[in-house]
Amino acid sequence: MARFGGLLATDLRDVTTDPAALDSTGWWAVVADFEGGLTCARFGDVRPCRAPAPVPGRWRGPAPEQWTSSLDRAAYTAGVRRIREHIAAGEVYQANLCRVLSAPLPDPSTADVDDLTALLARGNPAPYAGTVRLPAHGVEVATASPELYLRRSGRTVESGPIKGTGRTAEDLLEKDHAENVMIVDLVRNDLGRVCTTGSVTVPALCAVEQHPGLVHLVSTVRGEIAPGAGWAELFTATFPPGSVTGAPKASALEIIEALEPAPRGPYCGGIGWVDADRGTGELAVGIRTFWIDRAGPGGPVLRFGTGAGITWGSDPEREWAETELKASRLLAIASGAHEPLEGTKR
């Protein structure tokens, strides 16, 4: 099953790794791993359905103290310093450094990511929240993403990169604005590879958006897809999303591979839906995202990713604190240690 934007999809008809299928027929759920793996699932029954209310005790998450990180504080801050060395050498302007948090599930046989999605919807409402549950295909994802990767309506395509995070707008620094502008330029270039010449615009630059527990700087980049191009060409031109890689993207990806010991999986990939019949779709950047990994040698675990964009102006301890800020609320919800504020709304 899959759940996005007030729709519930059931009756699985087809699963493929071919992005060209998204321009065929039917309604598809999409999960693209940061490393390039793609799962597209076509469903036969898609109907309006409110997000379910969380049922007390149905989701049993890890104990708060059981989470471990692929990079501890010392390793992460060392990685920030290493990226600054790459910047000083002129090899990159910005790179995203991420870590993957993992914890064992207390009862993996009954763990349902849709139950976790219900908890996230109450405790951390997000514009691109959703579930994709395909256990036979190794995909069990619950996302509370605030970031738009690609939205398509006919030939029009739009991206909403986020760069710059703080507890309040007053926390945002000049470094955050500079980082956002750098990534907007990268996204413009990416979309320019698949859009008609002169059609790529930036309707909004560095707008401040409020989200539960923090604020983000968000920009909008829009273009018109060139004749003959479709979802396959969009992925080729833009994936992985620029906001979670860096600039230049090729150099940033090399640095990420060298510094990050764990694969990101659906974290920092693309998660969402495509309605091929209507020529529409909405994919989020896979941040604020949990997934169940049942294939590891230590048994089933719940995973979650967090990271920060590193520039020359980055302070290693501040960047570590940003990754903690992004993770703390979500981990508390998944572990059952968070109560939403009164009046929290989607």
Q: Which active-site residues does the annotation give? A: 147, 163
Instruction: Give CA–CA dist 242/84, Å, rounded.
Output: 19
Q: Which of 55, 63, 58, 53 is nearest to 335 (CA)?
A: 63
What single-letter amino acid sits at 24?
S
Question: Facing residues of 291 across strands?
Answer: 141, 303
Q: Which two tokens stand for residue 167?
A: 């507890």
